[in-house]
């Protein structure tokens, strides 16, 4: 693996190439790679594949942290993954993904994505302010979830940034990593 910063991207396994969310995730991966960042995902299909595809097209490092025992019906990582890290279980997978990350972006997804979103948030809340990574969530659903967590449970709102689009998430993360937007 290279010395480039790695952005871990969480998102849906079910998004298909004909959906706008797939294209947005692909463009996000391309944007990150062209700016000099690598990407890490769960390594399978959906937005994980889209981000990987974009990053590969941009010449970036593409890491897939898979869980073969948990997902035996999936036939290995998507074809854009350059480095596969097989995890023993979902907990190890999430630890790897957060450990690799210089920043995280959470795209819309389902229950697994929500767990990853809250794990990233918890990690940021527990880290000393000088060691906090950028954690950016995309879309109205995650914004509403974050708002509820802040209001109902007193979760620290300073560590999670909510934006409307994947492109805006990429801009925020690149700025926080000091990479700027690619040309």
The pLDDT tens digits for 108-151 are 999 999 999 999 999 988 889 888 899 999 999 999 999 998 88
Q: Which pLDDT belongs to residue 68?
A: 87
Beta carbons within 8 Å of 5's beta carbon, 6+ residues apart = 36, 37, 38, 102, 103, 177, 179
CATH number at residue 171: 3.40.50.450
Domain-embedded: residue 183: no
Structural domain including 40 reads 6-176
Domain-embedded: residue 181: no
What's the total number of domains in the chain? Answer: 1
Domain-embedded: residue 26: yes
Domain-embedded: residue 1: no
Domain-embedded: residue 32: yes
Domain-embedded: residue 182: no
The pLDDT tens digits for 50-75 are 999 999 999 999 999 999 898 888 88
């Amino acid at each position: 693996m290279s010395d480039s910063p790695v952005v871990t991207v969480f998102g849906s396994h079910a998004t298909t190439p004909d959906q706008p969310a797939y294209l947005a995730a692909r463009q996000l991966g391309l944007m990150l790679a062209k700016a000099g960042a690598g990407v890490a995902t769960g390594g399978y299909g959906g937005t994980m594949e889209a981000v990987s595809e974009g990053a590969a097209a941009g010449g970036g490092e593409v890491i897939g942290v898979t869980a073969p025992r948990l997902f035996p019906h999936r036939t290995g990582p998507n074809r854009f993954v350059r480095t596969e890290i097989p995890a023993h279980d979902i907990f190890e997978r999430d630890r790897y993904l957060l450990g690799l990350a210089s920043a995280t972006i959470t795209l819309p997804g389902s229950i697994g994505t929500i767990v990853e979103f809250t794990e990233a948030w918890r990690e940021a809340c527990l880290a000393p302010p000088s060691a906090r990574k950028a954690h950016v969530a995309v879309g109205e659903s995650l914004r509403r979830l974050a708002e509820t967590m802040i209001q109902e449970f007193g979760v620290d709102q300073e560590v999670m940034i909510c934006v409307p689009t994947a492109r805006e998430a990429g801009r925020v993360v690149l700025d926080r990593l000091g990479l700027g937007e690619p040309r």
